[in-house]
Homo-oligomer: A and B are copies of this chain.
Amino acid sequence: MAVIAPSRRIRRTPFTEGVEAAGVKGYTVYNHMLLPTVFESIEADYHHLKSAVQVWDVAVERQIELRGPDAARLMQMLTPRDLRGMMPGQCYYVPIVDETGGMLNDPVALKLAEDRWWISIADSDLLFWVKGLAYGYRLDVLVDEPDVSPLAVQGPLAEELVARVFGDAVRAIKFFRFGWFDFDGTSMAVARSGYSKQGGFEIYVDGTQNGMPLWHALFEAGKDLDVRAGCPNLIERIEGGLLSYGNDMTRENTPHECGLGRFCSTQTAIGCVGRDALLRVAKEGPTQQIRALAIAGDLPPCDRPWPLIAKNKRVGQVTSAALSPQFKTNVAIGMVKMTHWDEGTQIAVQTPDGMRDVTVHENFWI
């Protein structure tokens, strides 16, 4: 593995100082910003995440703020998910597609008010798409990236830790809801959400200057909880079937291929871009879909799509893989053609280190 060259173009976050002090060992780059990938080891981080509590620098989840009379109209243009029933204080996972139904991002939208939204993005410059649409349609809306950086607190002890810093009222926050809580005189959105299946919160830290004080406050409050710096964990997120935009899905894929058809209400999401294409997809169904895959044997890191093979033909590809200590197999995510996507189908994968046996599963491990 090569080192990553320092430059201003790869942005530091409000928490990078804390991440470095905690001994980060690897980074990836996500939305032109540093995202930690490992502290002690991916396996040690995994065990700790499942048993205690971690603080994650996920400032790379940049926010796109929509504000103004046309904000709600623009938000509905962006996604095939029907937003009519969404209330302020709710988070929605919203596939964003282009005019052909190809995935551009899979963010979480926060409705702050009828005329104010945040879109908490995955790894693509979605801001450019949103600005282009707003400009082309002459919408009466401001679109910008505010100085807001999410900090996640994840793991079984997350609620206890967040309650110690923000007060017991956070315990009442329901899944994919958020409330406003004070830290050091600044009001911040605190949501019960996060890129793990261990439970926890995401704090939308308003103002770079508030980053390290909050970081320190969490570590100070959580000493007896064995709080540690962590990051999205490759093993845990594959076990839980949490997709990664750019890894498991790209602009090539429709939401239906990604198993996100349940978030597409193309009949009722009037005005959304890509509706025509997705109505067609919804009618006919996808010809390939995301599946959980168990892979036997030793594996190198998955840094490129690995072809899935059956009877010498390509029937899909693996895009994420890791060895699961809990399930004693390599857990993986891949796109599989409908001819081979049924539970229990036996196929093979062509890795750079050779062929491996694969079992297709319809459900993820957690």
Question: Residues of A at under 8 Å CB distance from B?
Answer: 1-10, 12, 24-30, 32, 37-38, 98-99, 104, 123-133, 135-137, 244-247, 273, 301-305, 319-320
Contacts and interface: CB of A to CB of B under 8 A. Distances in A.
B246 A302 contact: no
Given A3-B25, A24-B2, A124-B125, A8 B132 contact: no
Contacts of A303: 6-8, 10, 12
A98 B9 CA distance: 19
21 contacts: A2-B4, A2-B25, A4-B27, A5-B26, A5-B27, A5-B37, A7-B28, A7-B246, A8-B246, A8-B247, A8-B319, A10-B29, A12-B303, A12-B304, A28-B29, A99-B131, A125-B125, A128-B128, A132-B136, A133-B136, A135-B136
Contacts of A5: 1, 26-28, 37-38, 301
Contacts of A29: 4, 10, 28-29
A304 B24 contact: no
A282 to B, nearest CB: 21
A99 to B, nearest CB: 6
A123 B9 contact: yes
A29 B10 CA distance: 8
Nearest to A29: B29
A339 B27 CA distance: 39
